[in-house]
Every structure is written in C-alpha cells, then in structure tokens.
Structure 1
Amino acid sequence: MNSKIHALHHPVILNNRSTKHVKATNHFSELLQQQSKLTISKHAQQRMTTRNIQVTDAKWSELETKILEAKQKGIKESLVLMDNAAFIVNVKNNTVVTAMERTETKSKIFTNINGTILID
C-alpha cells in the first residue's frame, strides 16, 4: 500500500470553450459534407451524357441530403425519381449506379432496391 499523500489536481477550465465547440462543429459539418458527396459511376455518367440528363445544383444537393437520410434509415440501394430523371443509387457507397430519363421509367420493373426517394 502506498502511504504517500497525493495532491489532487483540479482541471483547469478555460474560457475559450466556445472556440473549441465551433471547431468541433466545423469538423463535424466537414465530415457530414464528405459523407453526403455522391459520386457518379462511369456507367451512370455515360447514360447521363447520351440521354442529355441534366440536374441543377439545387436538385443535386437535395438528392445528396435525401441519400444521407436514406442511409440513416438503413437503405442500401435506392431508386431516386426526379421530375426529369431516375437514378439507382448505392446508398452505402454514395454512388449513382445508373441513370435514365423519367419517360423511360414507364412500365419498368426495378429490382434489388429497398427504398425509393421522390424529389419533385
């Protein structure tokens, strides 16, 4: 048994807690941004080019947000329907797998998906 007396040191509380909080928040938002960035597979990019599918930055941002929500709900593969296009997205990998014009989706059967996202 140690009979020495040990001094208790009280932690030093600094007044710059808000600075540390902002840094942590910025770091979290950066991580969130990185996680929500979608990549487009080569196949999907070719389809978008040949079919002249264009998505505005605002719609793309909304898509990234919805994919993040889908990931939180446990969705792995999702069909995303927009007014002018449809995408199959691997939610787990944040990758657009394929793309088609919305008119092509009529009378189609989509398999191996476990979620659908509608963006108007």
Structure 2
Amino acid sequence: MKPKINSMQQHQFLQMPSSSIKEKRNTKQDFHKLLQTEQLKMSKHAEQRLRERNISINKSQWQKIAEQIDKAKQKGITDSLVVLNRAALLVNTKNNTIVTALQREEVSERIFSNINGTILINE
C-alpha cells in the first residue's frame, strides 16, 4: 500500500470550483491538510479508480468519510464499505486506507466479501 499522500498534484480527480486558480490551489491544500489531520491514506489502486471512473469527492464529503471511518474503527470494524450517493469506497479502517473506489451504479451488481462493516453517508 502507498504511504501517506505527500503531494496534491496526484489528486486531479477532486471536483474543484471553476472560479480561480488561487481558489483551486486553496482547495487542494485544504484536502491535503484534511488527509494529514485525519490520517487517511489512498492506495495507488484507489487513486487510479477514482480517476478512471471520474469520481469526485469534495472536502466536506472527505471529512464525513474520515469521521465515520474513525467511528467504525472504534467499534472494531477493520474493513468497511463506505456508500455515498454517487460512489462507494472499500476502506481498510484498521490502516485508514482507501483501497478502491466504484461508481454507485457498479455497486448494485457486486458482492463484497471480507468486510465487517458498512458506512452509509448521505451527501
């Protein structure tokens, strides 16, 4: 698995406001700070899937995800499926690592094994 994310240039898949370049940089910096604060990590595979599937997750959604992962961890959940309105993430809560990402439509046709918790987040 990939160590903690050090560079925001790797995260072009985030949905950014279309106003100014300065605003885009601030949003990227905020996301980077959030990941550092919450200790969320993204596997290389998850990064690739987010880009390929054009999945956008904004700052407030990442914050909710991080909070819920922390709660799940406190309940002893080690591997979780995080379901959002438009996406789903497989997360190793033990290591705070996002393992992969799918679009919500893909979830209905799948069977997920080796998870011991599900987190539902309404955006």
Aligned-residue offset at 1:107: 2.2
Q: Between the two proteins, what is the percent identity of the paired residues?
A: 51
Partner of 2:62: 60
1:54-93 correspondence runs (5 A): 54-93=56-95
Instruction: Output the CA distance in 1 between the equivalents of 2:63 and 2:37.
Output: 13
TM-score, normalization by structure 1: 0.70
TM-score, normalization by structure 2: 0.68
Give SS of 2:71's match: helix
Unaligned runs of 5+ in 1: 1-32
Q: How many residues align?
A: 88
Instruction: Output the CA distance in 2 between the equivalents of 1:41 and 1:34.
Output: 15
Partner of 1:47: 49
Q: Conserved in 2, the CA contact under 8 Å of 1:36 and 1:67?
A: no
Q: 1:38 aligns with which of 40, 62, 66?
A: 40
Aligned-residue offset at 1:36: 2.8
Over 2 Å off, 4+ runs? 33-37
Partner of 2:119: 117
Partner of 2:6: none
Aligned-residue offset at 1:99: 0.4
Instruction: Output the CA distance in 1 between the equivalents of 2:118 and 2:96.
Output: 15
RMSD: 1.4
Partner of 1:96: 98
Instruction: Output the CA distance in 2 between the equivalents of 1:118 and 1:104.
Output: 16
Larger radius of gyration: 1
Instruction: Output the CA distance in 1 between the equivalents of 2:116 and 2:59.
Output: 26
